[in-house]
Chain A
Amino acid sequence: AQSVTQPDIHITVSEGASLELRCNYSYGATPYLFWYVQSPGQGLQLLLKYFSGDTLVQGIKGFEAEFKRSQSSFNLRKPSVHWSDAAEYFCAVVVFSGGYNKLIFGAGTRLAVHP
């Protein structure tokens, strides 16, 4: 069955430090992968997506992610975290079945940023 695993439920980093959020997926076909961010009381905002081509994708707010097929991973990175990055981050894979697609989400990683 298709699934997304985010091993880290909660991560705390200091402002200015680098960040890597882990995501592993299970999907039989070529995956379409997304990272979303959710700030408190807000909906989900797309950070970046991977469909094909270059395995290193750039997103908004200085985030990037690297697709590694051999590891079934799509980890999110940022070289220098800002206090405003504190939020919950969700990795998702599109599953196309029955003539339509839906997003399967990981459990999310809550990021706290210390000043």
Chain B
Amino acid sequence: GAGVSQSPSNKVTEKGKDVELRCDPISGHTALYWYRQSLGQGLEFLIYFQGNSAPDKSGLPSDRFSAERTGGSVSTLTIQRTQQEDSAVYLCASSLDKREYNEQFFGPGTRLTVL
């Protein structure tokens, strides 16, 4: 079956512009996660959704970052007024539910470059 998909695969933007990154989780997976992979910080957790709700947004790096999930499926990560330090690969993952033994399946990521 289809895995987690993300779009775009690559995004180049100018400093100060807004970007939207999309994640389509595996059908039926209620838990969805965003991670960021950057040279300086490694792989870091950003936000988690159970259904359409995000109980904890403290992992988001700044208030320029926001995320939403609609219909318990697609999620969008939005970065406003992008900065060069936002350049990274943004990974989305989904799992059947929030239980810790459920495997998180990762998408291929969106590589964001801020010029």
Contacts and interface: CB of A to CB of B under 8 A. Distances in A.
A42 B109 CA distance: 8
Contacts of A108: 42-43
Given A90-B43, A102-B33, A104-B45, A43 B100 contact: no
A106 B44 CA distance: 10
B25 interface: no
Contact of A99 (B59, B98, B103, B108): B98
Given A98-B55, A100-B56, A101-B100, A43 B45 contact: no
B45 A102 contact: yes
A108 to B, nearest CB: 7
A51 B101 contact: yes
Nearest to B101: A51
Contacts of A101: 48, 98-100
A46 B103 CA distance: 8
Contact of B55 (A42, A96, A99, A103): A99
Interface residues of A, number: 26
A98 B100 contact: no
Given A43-B109, A105-B42, A107-B42, A100 B55 contact: yes
A44 B91 contact: yes
B101 A32 contact: yes
Contact of B107 (A32, A43, A102): A43
Nearest to A93: B100
A112 interface: no
Contacts of B59: 102
7 contacts: A46-B103, A49-B103, A51-B101, A90-B43, A98-B56, A101-B48, A104-B45
8 smallest beta-carbon distances between A and B, as pairs? A105-B43, A43-B106, A44-B106, A101-B100, A94-B100, A102-B45, A43-B108, A107-B42
